[in-house]
Amino acid sequence: MTTEPPVIEISNLHKAYGSLEVIKGVTITARRGDVVSLIGSSGSGKSTILRCANLLEDSQQGDILFKGEPVRWTGSGLNRRPADPAQVLRIRTNLAMVFQQFNLWAHLTILQNVMEAPVTVLRRPRAEVEKSARAYLEKVGIGDKCDAYPAQLSGGQQQRAAIARALAMEPEALLFDEPTSALDPELEQEVIRVIKDLAAEGRTMMIVTHDMKMARDVSDHVVFLHQGLIEEQGDPETLFGAPRSERLRQFLSSTM
């Protein structure tokens, strides 16, 4: 029995792009140590939910709470914006995002990529940041690539560098948006291995993925989205083993 508020609480979220309503009332909670996977067809709203959660996107209705602290808004409807830039920065740095396309800085070495935000955004001492950056690169298995540039690494190594970069922010949670989609199958596995290790450590994570095997293996909770709404959700054994909705059954058979 815990009274600790969830790390991430998204409550009745609504989001439109202009007149196109893409999230139509979605509630998702991740408690400390939870791994929550979001699955669903392309265009169902998975990326948008992650981007709204860490305030990369505005939303029009609903609450987003970080460790029980609600985002404060100003304005309403399509004019709703977070009211407090310091709160946005705090939430964004605590919900570190890992993208499909890695988004490493091409002109910086791998070590410099990992050190950049802790030094410039968090203003941590450089020597201390370097020490932990090297340790995170070691942890994801590319400790020998500190001085390489992103273009000199394989896709799987670049994605592991991006994960080290996220970890270096010492965030409360990690948000993954299709972390293996840009990778060849043999390189996917090395990234999945790292994500599994993070899950086993009890990291709080939200993972958008097309990889049903990974979702089944690492998740505590799986959310199936359809056209901006939660169609079905549950623990992975039930959701994958005994799907109730016809749409989920069709989706799962299309991904096998």
Give residues in contact with Mg ion (CB under 5 A). Answer: 47
- The nearer residue to ligand ADP, 23 or 166, going by C-beta atoms, is 23
Binding residues vs ligand ADP (CB under 6 A): 17, 20, 22, 40, 42-48
State the binding partner of 129 from ligand ADP, Mg ion, none, CB within 5 to 8 A by kind.
none
- Sheet with strand 20-30: strands edge to edge: 20-30, 8-17, 61-66, 69-70
State the binding partner of 221 from Mg ion, ligand ADP, none, CB within 5 to 8 A by kind.
none
State the binding partner of 145 from ligand ADP, Mg ion, none, CB within 5 to 8 A by kind.
none
Distances from the Cα of 251 to the Cαs of 11, 38, 163, 206, in angstroms?
A: 25, 13, 29, 20
**5: closest CA among 69, 52, 73, 64?**
69
CB of 61 to ligand ADP, least distance (A): 16
CB of 215 to Mg ion, least distance (A): 14
CB of 17 to Mg ion, least distance (A): 14
Distance CA 137, CA 134 (A): 5
CB of 49 to ligand ADP, least distance (A): 7
- The nearer residue to ligand ADP, 19 or 253, going by C-beta atoms, is 19
State the binding partner of 17 from Mg ion, ligand ADP, none, CB within 5 to 8 A by kind.
ligand ADP
Q: What one-character-per-residue DSSP string does 125-170 give?
A: -HHHHHHHHHHHHHHTT-GGGTTS-GGGS-HHHHHHHHHHHHHTT-
Which amino acid, one-letter code, is at 32?
R
